[in-house]
Amino acid sequence: MKQSAKPLCLLFDCDGTLVDSEILLAEVMGDILPEFSLPFSAQQYMEEFRGVRFHTIVQTLEGRFQALAEGEFASLEAGMRARMEARMRAELVAIPGMPAALEQLNLHPKAVVSNGPERKIRCALESTELGHHFADKLFSAYTLNVWKPDPELYRKAAAAMGYPPEACIVIDDAAVGVEAGLAAGMHVIHLNHFPNEEVTPEGAIGIHHASELPAAIARISTAVTA
């Protein structure tokens, strides 16, 4: 049954989906967390914590090792954010194939929905010159006070964009985001960078490169409007 003639709304994750920032973040965390007596490595971030809220990562490590002293978390987070922003402005690039894919999807309304702070989202889009695709439609978990895998983050973004969940497509690389999109009742495309290690959950469409994105969105759009 045809639901709408309008193009579907595209809700993009940021880190690891639009921009290749995850390895930078992994390295920054691998450097700074041990300075606060929390053993951690870049590889550990990539294997266990990709896309997870920073506060949750620190709480998990505190449970495994030792609690931070009072007031230390604020210093830790501020240091991490400052180092990360400096590296992003110097080194960050878009995910391969993503700029061209976004150009092909110019008729779709788009937003960025991220577990990161809005300042970080803006820095990422400025550093990679992708911001013009989103017309300042940026939804940060820190602003809305809800973090993936809670589906409410994607639901709030969809409502603000004026679309019901079933008229939205989530594009996310991390397990927490894919889980959130599916739980929100949205179509989900999993940009799976590690197909030999990660399995795309049932209900989501898996792709391995951003160049596959326009065709995947076209298939969903055809099915929805048929």
Q: pLDDT per residue over 6-60, tens digit each?
A: 899 999 999 999 999 989 999 999 999 999 999 999 999 999 998 899 999 999 9
How confident is the model over 55-72, as a mean pLDDT?
A: 96
Q: Provide the 10 A C-beta neighbour count for residue 178.
A: 28
Question: Could you give the CA distance from residue 63 to residue 61 in angstroms, rounded to a whole number?
Answer: 5
pLDDT in tens, 143-168: 999 999 999 999 999 999 999 999 99
Q: For residue 1, is pLDDT > 80? A: no
Strands 205-207 and 138-140: unpaired
Residue 3 has pLDDT above 60, yes or no: no
Q: Which position has the token pair 């739980």? A: 183
C-alpha pair distances (Å), 177 with each of 20, 168, 225: 16, 14, 25
Q: What secondary structure does DSSP assign to 42-94, as a single string? A: HHHIIIIITT--HHHHHHHHHHHS-PPPTTHHHHHHHHHHHHHHHHHHHH--B
